[in-house]
Amino acid sequence: MSERLTDSHPSELQKAKIEVVDLSFYYSNVQALKSVNLAIFERSVTALIGPSGCGKSTFLRTINRMNDIIPMTKVTGHVRLDGQDIYAPGVDVVELRKRVGMVFQKPNPFPMSIYDNVAYGPRIHGVRKKSTLDEIVERSLTLAALWDEVKDRLRSSALELSGGQQQRLCIARALAVEPEVLLMDEPCSALDPIATARIEDLIQELKKQFTIVIVTHNLHQAGRVSDFTAFFLAGELVESGPTEVIFERPSDKRTEDYVTGRFG
Amino acid sequence: MKQTVAKLLIVTSAIVVLCILAVVISHILINGLPLVNLAYLTTDPDISWGNPVGGIRSTVWVSCYLTVIALLVAVPIGVGAAVYFTEYAKVGAFVTALRFAVESLAGVPSIVFGLFGYALFVISLGLQWSILSGGLTLACMILPTIIRTSEEALRSVPSAFREASLSLGATRWQTIWRVVVPSASPGIVTGIILGVGRAVGETAAVMLTAGMSLGFPILPTQPGRSMAVHLYTLAQEHIAYDQSYATAAVLVLVILAVDAAASLIRRRTST
């Protein structure tokens, strides 16, 4: 059913950056994702919504293979990035994660300086030249709308920043490796409303350059920031489509119940 | 009523512990410190006339030398083992056995390490009584301390740091080397310092492996007498209590300083 809906997207103009085909995921014997099919379009924001434990975070983490680090898990099906299956044998996970960045639920800057946090990615990928690193750090922090606040104290510890600033720093850190896709796992759930608004504005800016997939618990946030929405329930992708369709004219009763606040 | 009695007992036991510590340390310092002066610290001991005279310069040097050798060996191996346990090891019989070995090693009496060091390094490997034999033996002895404290420190590094690093395209090794170990370094350093304390104070194991000769060893193949061993011989063989108190005072001060450094590092980084 989701395939039919995906096909009905008014999206002929947009290219599918990620195609998920028949994706299932298992934690030992528990099936967390049931044969999910979804297309994620380039330079747009796709929101993944659903109640706790519905598999939306698990789904997000299959896109950069972060689930690989959890033992006793199994994936079947395909996730194609620009047409290339990222679960095919011989795929370089390091290379994949360079292309698909991630921002986590709780801001998790490293216990180092602001500069070193942003420079971490480029450094591990072999950038040594000071001037190049300086450039990357400034560009990434500017993109993450944090440069003006921290430009005079790049050498101070990242842990001195406020929660919202830390989260923007984590976004800058992810952007510094120049990803094509940015995965955000409830990036505002630990932030106050003002900090949340800043991140949401930032997402609007970033989608001009990046493909963004965001997991959110907050339906209003999904409505505000996303172009497409996918609704998950008990490991199943119930319905996906343009955000206004999902929120205003959902075709599945369960979606309607969820977006109108009847459960979840 | 029960509450009051229980509280009284607990407070009493705490006071008793503190008193014992205070009495021991003050007894040593009161009896030893008057004899400690610059000359005592800067002249070598001399027992050629039966009655010990001179200072403890060479024994301080030997203690430091032994400790450095022990650390050079034990720190890389110990931290490496801790990294293996926390980051790589999967649950299984091999790891369980390895863990059991480390735990057992921690409980082995030092004289047994001495005997082992004597049999292996001094005799079998032909290193004789030397700084090297002593340092290697001490390395074996402090290894469990370093492994356990490092392991604890590595485990307390939030997994969010590991995830963040991996998500940026870092390999597992880069993540461990650039994020996990640096974040755990205060705890690791604390473990190393505790190991130093143990090494500096060790007598039995050192006596059997580094010897008791009173020279001033330059090469690690030469034997030497550490502060703790010197203290033992002063008290046991020469019945020179003034001298042994003075050495004990220096030894106690050194170990107190080392422990203070450890807790300072722990406190400064835990806030």
- Please name each of the domains of chain B with its CATH number: 59-270 (1.10.3720.10)
Specify the DSSP class assigned to residue B208: H
For A239-250, write each residue's pLDDT tens digit. 999 999 999 999
Ordered DSSP codes for B62-113: HHHHHHHHHHHHHHHHHHHHHHIIIIIPPSSHHHHHHHHHHHHHHHS-HHHH
Cα–Cα distance, B69 to B135 (Å, whole number): 5
Q: Which of B168, B176, B181, B183 to probe the A interface (max A CBs under 10 A)?
A: B168
Q: Which of A68, A120, A184 to probe the B interface (max B CBs under 10 A)?
A: A120
Model pLDDT, residue A23: 95
pTM metric for this prediction = 0.81
B160–A64: do the CB atoms touch at under 8 Å?
Answer: no
Looking at the DSSP bridge assignments, the partners of residue A20 are A38, A79
Sign of the C-alpha dihedral computed for residues A177, A178, A179 and A182 taken in this order: positive
Residue with tokens 């890389």, as numbered in its chain: B76
| CB-based contact A30:A53 (threshold 8 Å) | no
Beta-carbon neighbour count of residue B155 at 10 Å? 14
For A133-178, write each residue's pLDDT tens digit. 999 999 999 999 999 999 999 999 999 999 999 999 999 999 999 9
Lowest-confidence range among A55-64, A198-207, B174-183, B260-269? B260-269
| CB-based contact A40:A23 (threshold 8 Å) | no
CA-to-CA separations, B217 to A209, B210, B220, in angstroms, rounded: 67, 11, 7
B168–A64: do the CB atoms touch at under 8 Å?
Answer: no
Lowest-confidence range among A53-62, A89-98, B50-59, B168-177? B50-59
Res A128 pLDDT > 70: yes
What is chain A's mean pLDDT, rounded? Answer: 91
Model pLDDT, residue A100: 96
Which chain A residues are within 8 Å of B173, Cβ to Cβ? none
A13 close to B (CB below 8 A): no
Model pLDDT, residue B271: 44
How far away is chain B from the Cα of A231, in angstroms, using its nearest Cα? 25
Res A261 pLDDT > 50: yes
A124 close to B (CB below 8 A): yes
Res A5 pLDDT > 50: no
A95–B158: do the CB atoms touch at under 8 Å?
Answer: no
Cα–Cα distance, A69 to A62 (Å, whole number): 11
Model pLDDT, residue A8: 43
Model pLDDT, residue A6: 45
With a pLDDT cut of 90, the percent of chain A lying above it is 83
Res B28 pLDDT > 70: yes
Model pLDDT, residue A242: 95
Specify the DSSP class assigned to residue A125: T
Confidence bin at B270 (pLDDT 50/70/90): low
Confidence bin at B269 (pLDDT 50/70/90): low
For B178-237, write each residue's pLDDT tens digit. 999 999 998 899 889 889 988 998 999 999 998 888 888 888 888 888 889 988 888 888
Confidence bin at A13 (pLDDT 50/70/90): low
Res A11 pLDDT > 60: no
Res A9 pLDDT > 80: no
Beta-carbon neighbour count of residue A84 at 10 Å? 11
Name the residue among B53, B65, B58, B63 with its Cα closest to residue B42. Answer: B58
Pairing of strands A236-242, A228-233: antiparallel
How far away is chain B from the Cα of A260, in angstroms, using its nearest Cα? 34
